[in-house]
Structure 1
Amino acid sequence: MARRLSWGRLPVVHQLRQSVGLQRGMLVAGLIITGLFLLTALTAPLLAPYGYSQLRNADGAFGAQQPPSAEHLLGTTVGGYDVLSRVIWGAQTAALVIVVAIAASIVIGILLGLVSGYFGGWLDRVLVVVCDAIYAFPSLLLAILLAIVISGGQSKLWGGILAAALSITVVFIPQYFRVIRAETVRIKAEAYIDSARVIGTPHRRIMGRHVLRNATRTLPLIVTLNASEAILTLAGLGFLGFGIEPTAAAEWGYDLNKSLSDVTSGIWWTALFPGLAIVLAVLGITLVGESLNDLADPRLRSRRAAAVGAGEVAETSVVPGGSLTAGPAGLGGLEGSGTLGDEGIEVRP
């Protein structure tokens, strides 16, 4: 029983049990697509038939712009790379950027929001102004600027991943800062926080044990939505030529950029599959985030409770001894075997 309760308290499992109808369908579909994306990223060395920068095998060079075949299921690119291998390895690159960017954003955003909301004063005003200025700046333009400053536009695998992740991190920090600061300002006005201060509890303990635990309840929603935005930002950097070098890692945005000229020549496979990978990854994560956002709305739980209550009312007995159903003698047999006279008085034979 205790094990079942512990599993039921997990964030996604708890929301899945709460979901009904369309929300459950969206959440399940999003979890399946996201799970396949993460599984592909983890097992890329096993799934990919070739390396991300491999141009030949034992039989010779692959050849450029080769159509789908038994040897290359999704064809080859204009550079002579295997499309299927590039798509699979690109999932690993995207997953690494998401993990690094969101982890850094969460740590920095939570720390700044917690300190700003709890202590207030001039530090709070300065941080609010700075974060609002960053938040108002175009995110992709800011990411391009930071990618150029950090890596000079292009770099090797880990250098490119860190450059893209850090540029995305700066964009995401104001979102976490706003949420945590607003929750901290609300929570620190609660009576139990005042009680903790009265008995002499240190500020660090109050912030870590009482404020932080209650201020981070909405973070799973923001994480899922930011993960999809990170994929789009990474693809945008690669498409504009500020991403990772093709010999260092596979990146979907770079492959789309190199396939622009192929589309007008009738070579569809070089652009279709990287673009489809971006769409599916973003769609899966977005479905999870939007479903969790809907389930966090108390109005949905009220509708669910109302539906359950309506079912219980339908089963409620309205006559002594059972539900209102006709017996073998029809409605007249509900209370006895007699019939009703003109004035509603039962007349027995």
Structure 2
Amino acid sequence: MLVAGLIIVAIFVLTSIFAPLLAPFGYSQLSDAHGNFGAQKPPSGAHLLGTTVGGYDVLSRVIWGSQTALFVIVVAIVLSIFAGVLLGVVSGYLGGWLDRILVVVCDAIYAFPTLLLAIVMSIVISGGRSNLVGGVFAAAISITVVFIPQYFRVIRAETVRIKAEAFVESAKVLGASSGRIMFRHILRNATRTLPLIFTLNASEAILTLAGLGFLGFGIEPTSAAEWGYDLNKSISDVTSGIWWTSVFPGLAIVLAVLGMTLVGESLNDLADPRLRTRRRAVGSPPPAPTSDTAPEASTDVVGDLALEVRE
């Protein structure tokens, strides 16, 4: 699972990085030297995956869409980790009224459905319309708000547990300040589970971004390529037998989410000592009795009986 997930994720990342070199056309390009592409053209030598109802090249839109997805994932995860970890460490270490307020606020945000909260934040930030900053970046900020409570809850719980450890008490006795204890001693030990949460949130970010685009709160085709938007525009094509405008963006979403999920689940298995012990127990055959162990067992029994007789 881990190897398969890493391969899929590597292909996704490399495709997004080298999108300008891999894509035959621009994400908003409608014509070339031979004229307009034409709408809903089937796959051919000129357009390997056909064209959309708007006249865009499907292959180019899929490749450029990976770049948009990667940008949104990186921005959303980095901002949410920064805010969630900072609030979690401060809340868990200081406690008191600040901790109660932050817990209530984050629980209230966490209670909202992910997609609904992202839609509300997208409307608040950019009114549902988009340019490169107001569209891609607004989508990233919308997803950031969704993920902050998750990092907050995890880091706060770890901080509450770690601040009772002996090394934290020793740092207090030595006169270390609260800031030094929080960000030098506690933070280093409270962030061990972040890689696992990062991979799982990355797959959720792709789905949320696609959901925003599908519902019309995403990114316009002239600003950036986005898989959910392309799926939305291909709904009417499916009933007409035009399959290529929806299959390839949908397949890109499925593969990207599958790769992230496989990596996250595999890291979860590797990080859980109970699963490692169970896997070793299942994979190794039970020890077979040998001629060397039988005499030892009988000798132990005889020795025990002799001891009882002497007593």
Separation in structure 2 between the aligned mates of residue 239 and residue 309 of structure 1, nearest angstrom: 49
2:56 to 74, 78, 81: 81
Stretches (4+) displaced over 6 A: none
Greater shift in the superposed pair: 133-142 or 107-116: 133-142
Between the aligned partners of 1:44 and 1:158, the Cα distance in structure 2 is 20
Q: Which of these residues, 129, 133, 137, is aligned with residue 154 of structure 1?
A: 129
Pairing 1:256-271 to 2, within 5 Å after superposition:
256-271=231-246
Q: Within 5 A, what are the aligned runs for 1:50-199? A: 50-199=25-174
* 5+ long unaligned stretches in structure 2: 294-311
RMSD: 1.5
- TM-fit CA distance, 1:304: 4.1
Tell me how far apart the structure 2 counterparts of residues 309 and 260 of structure 1 sit (CA, whole Å): 52
TM-score of the pair, normalised by structure 2: 0.91
User: 208, 220, 231: which is aligned to 1:245?
Assistant: 220
What do residues 241-271 of structure 1 show as CA deviations (whole Å, max 9, x unaligned)? 1111101110000000000000000000000
Tell me, in whole angstroms, the C-alpha distance in 2 between the residues paired with 1:51 and 1:161: 17
- 8 Å contact kept, 2:269–2:276: no
Percentage of matched positions with identical amino acids: 77
- The Cα of 1:307 is off from its aligned counterpart by 5.7
Return 130-139 or 144-153, whichever deviates more: 144-153
Q: Provide TM-score, normalisation by structure 1.
A: 0.81
Q: Which structure has the larger Rg over C-alpha atoms?
A: 1
Secondary structure at 1:302's aligned position in 2?
A: helix
Q: Which runs of 5+ in 1 are unaligned?
A: 1-25, 321-349
Q: Output one character per residue of 1:173-222: Cα deviation in whole Å (capped at 9) or x when no partner.
A: 00000000000000001111111101111111111121001100001110
* SS of residue matched to 2:242: coil
The offset of 1:296, in angstroms, is 1.5
Deviation for aligned residue 1:235:
0.4
- Counterparts of 1:201 and 1:318, CA distance in 2: 61
Q: Distance in 1 between matches of 2:185 and 2:266?
A: 28
1:305 Cα deviation from its structure 2 partner: 4.2
- For 1:27, the equivalent position in structure 2 comes to 2
Alpha-carbon distance between aligned partners in 1 of 2:156 and 2:188, rounded to the nearest angstrom: 13
Q: In 1, distance between residues paired with 2:222 and 2:22?
A: 19
Q: 1:231 aligns with which of 196, 206, 212?
A: 206
CA shift, 1:284, in A, is 0.4
Report how many aligned residue pairs link the two structures. 293
Are residue 306 (structure 1) and residue 289 (structure 2) matched? no
Q: Tell me the amino acid that sits aligned with residue 123 of structure 1.
A: L
